[in-house]
């Protein structure tokens, strides 16, 4: 009995071996276990002849990449953020775009909260001091930071992760939680996470600890810059687990150096993995390399969901279904 050829896919970065194994049960797979970071041109070249792609947040897929690959039917991002995708270009080309929501919410919220606490309690700065061998005596004000419990938590962006952080602050740490988001949550959701909507100026002025969890869009570019930092309390902390580009990193580094706010915790950076060198020379910042979702279980779940999206669309010959977590459902006519 002749069977139709299996669709070919590209897995653009290294991934868990068992996920590759699963994908190989359905597809001809070109992998990249050497984990080379492809340029956009190289990605477009490797996608030749592929019906699907498994990408991560650093892989840019736009009109040029899609036009060079008219056989492509789905690009599955192993990330909840999708600012690496040009969604209107996907729609114009008739290609599914998917992401990995929900499975990373709690782990990412854990990390956001941990980074905020590490920032408030000066954990990185004090650890560096200790490692340098400078700890010679106890002192009443040594690395005295600011309290998290009972303080005011400000959240900018209030999707799933923002709500999970609010719950931690309200129920776990007795914090007053204020948030700003384009759309206000329903009253019952606000009550369950213990958060109150305020305008952005009020958020900036009231927050003892401001956490950013909004998606990166052109409108959100530098939505925290010198003018916004100037509205914050000099004792406040700022934590960014959203995306580089939301914060003006140069303005932030200057504000930290001048102690216009107390400290910052940053997991994401403009132009990462490069980062503004000024951030490396200020002590009152905790820096981590974009790892907010990085627990083994969560990264496995993200990879599995991206794989399942590819299988749902390409895996069953003649049954080409909808992906599980589409970004552009109803916005286009899929390529045949």
Q: Is 149 assigned a catalytic role? A: no
Long-range contacts of the stretch 329-332 (C-beta < 8 A, 24+): 331/87, 331/91, 332/90, 332/91, 332/92, 332/93, 332/94, 332/95
Stretch that binds ligand DGY, among 75-83, 160-168, 194-202, 325-333 (CB under 6 A): 75-83
Closer of 282 and 327 to ligand DGY (Cβ) = 327
Q: Is 209 assigned a catalytic role? A: no
Catalytic residue chosen out of the listed positions 73, 243, 270, 299 = 243
Q: List CB contacts of 243: < 8 A, sequence separation 6 or more.
A: 81, 83, 215, 216, 268
Catalytic residue chosen out of the listed positions 13, 167, 180, 290 = 290
Q: Are 30 and 45 in contact (CB under 8 A)?
A: no
Kindly list the strands in the beta sheet with 96-98, ordered across the sheet, starting from the edge strand earlier in the chain. Answer: 28-30, 8-11, 52-55, 74-77, 96-98
Q: Is 272 assigned a catalytic role? A: yes
Torsion on CA atoms 218, 262, 271, 280, rounded to nearest 10:
170
Rule CB under 6 A: is residue 162 a binding residue for ligand DGY?
no
Stretch that binds ligand DGY, among 39-47, 79-87, 123-131, 319-327 (CB under 6 A): 79-87
Element (H, E) at 314: none
Rule CB under 6 A: is residue 79 a binding residue for ligand DGY?
yes
Stretch that binds ligand DGY, among 74-82, 182-190, 226-234, 323-331 (CB under 6 A): 74-82
Rule CB under 6 A: is residue 165 a binding residue for ligand DGY?
no
Which residue, among 302, 267, 303, has the nearest Cα to 101 in the 3D structure? 302
Contact letters for ligand DGY, residues 168-187 (x by CB under 6 A): --------------------
Catalytic residue chosen out of the listed positions 28, 30, 254, 272 = 272
∠220-221-225 over CA atoms, to 5°? 105
Closer of 27 and 111 to ligand DGY (Cβ) = 111
Contact letters for ligand DGY, residues 293-332 (x by CB under 6 A): x---------------------------------------
The residue whose two tokens read 């139709």 is: 4
Rounded to a whole number of angstroms, the minimum distance from the CB of residue 13 to ligand DGY is 11
- Residue 245, sorted as left (phi over 0), alpha (psi -120 to 50) or beta, turns out to be left
Binding site for ligand DGY (CB under 6 A): 57, 79-81, 104, 293
Q: Report the catalytic residues.
A: 243, 272, 290
């Amino acid at each position: 009995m002749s069977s139709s050829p299996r669709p070919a896919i590209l897995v653009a970065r290294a991934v868990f071996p068992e996920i590759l194994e699963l994908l190989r049960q359905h597809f001809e797979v070109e992998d990249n276990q050497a984990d080379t970071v492809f340029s956009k041109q190289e990605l477009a070249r490797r996608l030749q002849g592929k019906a699907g792609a498994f990408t991560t947040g650093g892989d840019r897929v736009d009109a040029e990449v899609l036009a060079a690959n008219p056989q492509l039917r789905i690009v599955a991002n192993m990330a909840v953020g999708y600012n690496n995708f040009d969604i209107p270009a996907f729609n114009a080309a008739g290609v599914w775009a998917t992401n990995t929501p929900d499975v990373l919410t709690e782990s990412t919220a854990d990390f956001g909260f941990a980074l905020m606490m590490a920032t408030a309690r000066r954990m990185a700065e004090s650890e560096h001091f200790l490692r340098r061998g400078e700890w010679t005596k106890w002192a009443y004000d040594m690395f005295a930071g600011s309290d998290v419990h009972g303080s005011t938590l400000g959240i900018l962006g209030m999707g799933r992760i923002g709500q999970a952080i609010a719950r931690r602050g309200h129920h776990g740490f007795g914090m007053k939680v204020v948030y700003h988001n384009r759309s206000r949550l329903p009253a019952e959701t606000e009550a369950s996470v213990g958060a109150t909507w305020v305008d952005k100026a009020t958020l900036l002025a009231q927050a003892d600890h401001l956490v950013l969890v909004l998606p990166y869009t052109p409108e959100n570019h530098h939505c925290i810059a010198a003018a916004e930092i100037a509205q914050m309390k000099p004792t406040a902390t700022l934590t960014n687990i959203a995306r580089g580009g939301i914060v003006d990193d140069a303005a932030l580094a200057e504000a930290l150096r001048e102690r216009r706010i107390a400290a910052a915790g940053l997991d994401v950076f403009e132009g990462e993995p490069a980062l503004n060198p000024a951030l490396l020379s200020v002590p009152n910042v905790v820096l981590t390399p974009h790892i907010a979702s990085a627990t083994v279980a969560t990264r496995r779940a993200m990879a599995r969901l991206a794989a399942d999206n590819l299988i749902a669309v390409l895996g069953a010959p003649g049954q080409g279904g909808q992906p599980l977590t589409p970004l552009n459902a109803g916005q286009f006519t899929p390529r045949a």
